[in-house]
Homo-oligomer: A and B are copies of this chain.
């Protein structure tokens, strides 16, 4: 089987609560993690919740990164979905875990887009 993409679902525990509640900082770390992996950033959208928590996404040419944080639990749910062989989603995931001062991370990699025939991935943009 041929696959179009790799998708990491990361459960990041024991993070710094102040970091997880800082929208601007989370956005910067997420964008930097994408760049660290060599991705091309296309769109960015982040939202701060009351009383706490941040949700956001970075759309990249190679797919996306998302995050949802629960500062009160020190927990962040992170997804890194990349297409093609040029970049490694684990580079972004490991960068985030380090920046959040996480005590514990569990992650699963899921293959996305399964085809019998060979598939090519285009990452060109308008």
Contacts and interface: CB of A to CB of B under 8 A. Distances in A.
Contacts of A123: 49
Contacts of A114: 11
Interface residues of A, number: 45
Interface string A41-75: 01111111111110111010101101010100101
A113 B11 contact: yes
A122 B9 contact: no
Contacts of A38: none
Interface stretch (A29-37, A76-84, A85-93, A94-102): A76-84
Given A7-B77, A48-B126, A77-B112, 11 more contacts: A4-B75, A7-B9, A11-B112, A42-B55, A43-B45, A45-B45, A49-B124, A50-B124, A50-B125, A50-B126, A66-B81
